[in-house]
Amino acid sequence: MELTYVTYIGAKPEEVWNALISPEGTKAIFFGSVLKSTFEVGAPYEYVGPGNDGEETVHVYGNILAFEPFQRMSYTEHPGPSYNENHADLETRVTVTLETVGSCTRLTLVNDQWPANHPSYERTKDNWHYVISSIKTYVETGKTLDFGW
């Protein structure tokens, strides 16, 4: 049940990386959420923003597994507490890899290690397309996408 996505972005890996971890970038590409972490391997992280619990809703959380600036980030991922009662049991892994290809960056995102019958699998399979499109558009144009939500 591995989800794999590859896209090419007309920018350098540093620009894509900054969009993935900076507060300005994450707010633009992750629907108003900020990524909070020290980014040390083993450290916790959480995406926090507007949602079910107000302005400080934890949408997803987990621990940093790998953090190689401008190249690779991997982390465990749990749905936020307001989304699933058994959120702590619903762990997957997300790995984002950036590679230079000509004057572009190839972004590869793999979301794997899904437990059987994970209630968010189908929704996540579709939602990664929105996120990756947002990353590409934001990095290339500085603008965000409006999906009408």
Q: Is the pTM of this model over 0.75?
A: yes
Which residues lie closer than 8 Å to 76 by C-beta, 6 or more apart?
A: 62, 63, 65, 91, 92, 93, 94
* Range 26-54 average pLDDT: 94
Q: Name the pLDDT band for 1 (thresholds 50, 70, 90).
A: confident
- Checking if the pLDDT of 149 tops 80, the result is no
Q: What is the pLDDT of residue 99?
A: 98
Task: Identify the CA nearest to 130 among candidates 1, 7, 2, 41.
Answer: 7
CA distance 120 to 125: 8
pLDDT digits (tens, 9 = 90+) for 47-72: 999 988 889 999 999 999 999 999 99
Residue 127: pLDDT band (50, 70, 90) is: very high
> Any bridge partners for residue 94, and if so which?
75, 111
Q: What is the DSSP letter of 91?
A: -
Model confidence over 94-126: pLDDT tens digits? Answer: 999 999 999 999 999 999 999 988 999 999 999
Kindly report the average pLDDT of the chain as a whole number: 95
Domains, the chain: 3-141 (3.30.530.20)
